[in-house]
């Protein structure tokens, strides 16, 4: 065998021995140049993009944190935005009114009865009694006295009043203005009057008096509803029961939905010391009402609701509300009625 292998495979091997390292070196240089060029562009030539990337990273982290809260309380965060926040969102014409001198100079406060008469119904203090001249329409409706409707609240009321007084501080927490949302025929309103009198407070009852789902559907509500021409007569029974209960000096009615009522009070800068929510007890509706009335409740005030133990929708919404807002829930001894005290510092 000679020193030089002149066969074809031999020549190929010799060529490869020289060419492959050159190819490898060339490829390596190309790759490192490419990498360096990219790196330089990234680090030096494009600082704006780097800042942008960092900002985007921050935003992504924030979004991740936020969606964590929303994942725990998806329902509450939507309700807070739609009911709580909406209470403080006047439309254009209302905004103009709020900027008028009379409202702008008014502090948020608990209104007196005379103020309510004037600003809600345009009635002066010298006017005849609010209830004078009322006549029950016996030709259209069945008379339904409060004795026919003894609610859980009526049974539990002494415990409720004790609980409120234990949550309010005697010197700091005057009770001048109580709002009941959901009054039906006035059984609980007539009971609240005892408490209101003790504190010289006014009780404003907010209800459409048009009934909820049960009242339109269940046979036991046929009488108090007395629907004629597609409309019920709960309001007439309520007014007659307030008159018969000797409660006309304490109780005033406002025939609107709970949400509209909360917005009206906010727009008038009227803030209740105690709110009692006894509306439809429907899931979602109760949560919306909790957010709406929490907005207008005075710091240091108390929000009350009944049937916590009896209506699963109430328990569901109240539990979600206090968990979301990180609040303390109190109960009467019976566990029927719940209470939440609004912290003095903003919450
Ligand atoms: C309520 O008013 C009466 C009469 O003005 C007054 O004597 C009483 O102290 C008041 N009570 C409270 C709790 O403010
Ligand atoms: C209302 O007052 C009248 C007259 O004083 C009295 O006869 C009646 O028993 C009172 N009703 C209630 C429910 O207190």
User: For position 156, what pLDDT does the model report?
Assistant: 92
For residue 347, what pLDDT is reported? 45
Question: Which residues in the chain show pLDDT less than 50?
Answer: 1-2, 347
pLDDT of residue 139: 96
What is the model's pLDDT at position 3?
57
Is 245 near ligand 2, meaning CB less than 6 Å away?
Answer: yes
The whole-number pLDDT of residue 172 equals: 77
Q: What pLDDT is attached to residue 171?
A: 75
For residues 245 and 149, is the Cβ–Cβ distance under 8 A? Answer: no
How many angstroms separate the CA atoms of 134 and 85, rounded? 38
C-alpha 196/C-alpha 205 separation (Å) is: 13
> What is the structure's pLDDT at 1?
47
Nearest-CA residue for atom 10 of ligand 1: 200
Q: Residue of the nearest CA to atom 6 in ligand 1? A: 200
Centre of ligand 2 from the C-alpha of residue 244, in Å: 7
126 C-alpha to ligand 1 centroid (Å): 22
The predicted pLDDT at position 54 comes to 78
């Amino acid at each position: 065998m000679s020193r030089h292998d002149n066969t074809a495979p031999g020549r190929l091997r010799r060529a490869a021995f020289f060419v492959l390292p050159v190819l490898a070196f060339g490829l390596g240089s190309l790759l490192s140049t490419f990498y360096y060029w990219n790196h330089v562009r990234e680090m030096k030539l494009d600082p704006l993009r780097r800042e942008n990337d960092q900002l985007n990273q921050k935003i992504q982290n924030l979004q991740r944190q936020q969606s964590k809260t929303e994942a725990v309380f998806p329902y509450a965060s939507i309700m807070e935005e739609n009911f709580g926040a909406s209470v403080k969102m006047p439309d254009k014409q209302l905004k103009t009114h709020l900027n008028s001198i009379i409202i702008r100079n008014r502090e948020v406060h608990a209104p007196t009865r005379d103020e309510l008469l004037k600003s809600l119904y345009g009635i002066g203090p010298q006017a005849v009694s609010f209830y004078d001249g009322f006549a029950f329409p016996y030709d259209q409706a069945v008379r339904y006295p409060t004795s026919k409707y003894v609610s859980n609240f009526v049974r539990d009321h002494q415990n409720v009043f004790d609980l409120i007084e234990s949550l309010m501080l005697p010197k700091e927490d005057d009770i001048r203005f109580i709002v009941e949302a959901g009054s039906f025929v006035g059984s609980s309103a007539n009971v609240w009057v005892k408490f209101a009198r003790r504190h010289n407070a006014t009780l404003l009852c907010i209800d459409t008096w048009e009934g909820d789902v049960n009242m339109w559907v269940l046979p036991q509500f046929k009488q108090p509803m007395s629907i004629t021409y597609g409309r019920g007569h709960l309001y007439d029974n309520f007014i007659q029961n307030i008159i018969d209960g000797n409660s006309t000096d304490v109780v005033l009615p406002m025939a609107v939905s709970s949400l509209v009522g909360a917005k009206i009070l906010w727009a008038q800068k009227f803030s209740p010391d105690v709110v009692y929510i006894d509306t439809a007890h429907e899931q979602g509706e109760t949560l919306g009402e909790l957010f709406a009335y929490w907005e207008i409740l005075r710091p240091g005030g108390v929000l009350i609701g009944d049937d916590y133990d009896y209506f699963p929708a109430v328990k569901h919404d109240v539990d979600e509300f206090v968990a979301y807002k990180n609040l303390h829930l109190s109960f009467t001894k019976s566990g029927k009625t719940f209470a939440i005290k609004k912290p003095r510092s903003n919450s």
